[in-house]
Amino acid sequence: MTGAPVSAPPVDRRLPPVTATAMASMSLVIVSGIYLASHLPARAPLGPSVGLLAASAAVFVAAMVMVGRIRPFAWDVFLRVAGWALLAYAVIGGMLEFVFVFDHTRGSMLAVLTLSLVLFALDVPLLLAFTVARYQSVDAGPDA
């Protein structure tokens, strides 16, 4: 033991509601995508989906800001889990994008669906990485 102060046990720490916020973002983007996909192959009114997508993006940014302000935090674990999850969800998003292009989805509808897939592929890694990193013990160092 080096005598360095140790932060509170991970279970006892009070953290911001990152999980709930990221889940809200993911829910909004899923509803947006389902709304658009339910109209395929016909064109759908984009207003509701664009509104849901913008709300989802705003909530996602809020979740990222909350994570960024946590001190001390197991950033090495967070980044490792987020990186691998992002790789996996980039592949999944790419396959779904291929399906939309293969089904001749074009123009603004494809753009909104693509942005929805991107946001979805960012939400899940955030959730996974935060959920794992929040339970890791971290030493309170000089930057804590």
Residue 96 lies in a domain: yes
Domains identified in the chain, total number: 1
Please tell me whether residue 133 adopts helix, strand or coil conformation: helix
Provide the mean pLDDT of the chain.
88
Residue 1 lies in a domain: no
Residue 11 lies in a domain: no
Residue 54 lies in a domain: yes
**What is the span of the domain harbouring residue 107?**
18-133
95-103 long-range contacts (CB < 8 A, ≥24 apart) are 100/40, 103/40, 103/41
List pLDDT tens digits, range 54-104: 999 999 999 999 999 998 999 999 999 999 999 999 999 999 999 989 988
Residue 3 lies in a domain: no
So what's the pLDDT on residue 144? 46
How far apart CA 14 and CA 40 sit, in angstroms, is: 44
Residue 91 lies in a domain: yes
On the question of pLDDT at 5 being above 80, the answer is no
